[in-house]
Amino acid sequence: MIRKFYLLILVIMAGFATVMAKDSEKRSKEEIFREVQEFKIKFLAQEMDLKEDQQDRFVKLYGEMNQKRFACMKEARSLKKKLKKNPDATEEDYQKVTDSMNKAKAEAASIEKEYDEKFAEFLSQKQIFKMKSAENEFRQKMEEMRHNKKGKGGKR
């Protein structure tokens, strides 16, 4: 188990090192985002122990779900970014952003529940659980990398 964890960390670090190294070639944010998403899906599929017949359906459906979740969070992220840049923000501004974030999170949860039902048509509950666990693990590793990059003079 520990060996698998270290191998996983190594794979994640190697993947992101490749993505970050290519970043110096001035690639677009969209291209970097797409590559990270592709790597994430491969990571999830590996962690979920998907069979060959499940992989294509999973990749397609997971991509759809991610697009919907991303779209519902877009406005909240935009408002939050503007608020952070506004030194004269009012209580009303903060309330608007908070409400927007809450609404987006609820919508994202609804999307996730909808897709859990679709995943259940061809994945076991254990695989769905592993997907959620792996998503959290992936998110944590991304945050660690951002933190480490920021601490070493990287910008964010």
The number of beta carbons lying within 10 Å of the beta carbon of residue 34 is 12
Counting Cα atoms < 13 Å in the Cβ hemisphere of 119 gives 27
Which structure tokens are listed for 53? 């017949």
The 10s digit of each residue's pLDDT in 18-70 is: 555 555 556 788 888 889 999 999 999 999 999 999 999 999 999 999 999 99
pTM of the predicted structure, to 2 decimals: 0.73
The per-residue DSSP string of 112-135 comes to HHHHHHHHTTTS-HHHHHHHHHHH
Per-residue CA distances from 24 to 19, 31, 65, 71, 94 (Å) = 9, 13, 30, 28, 36
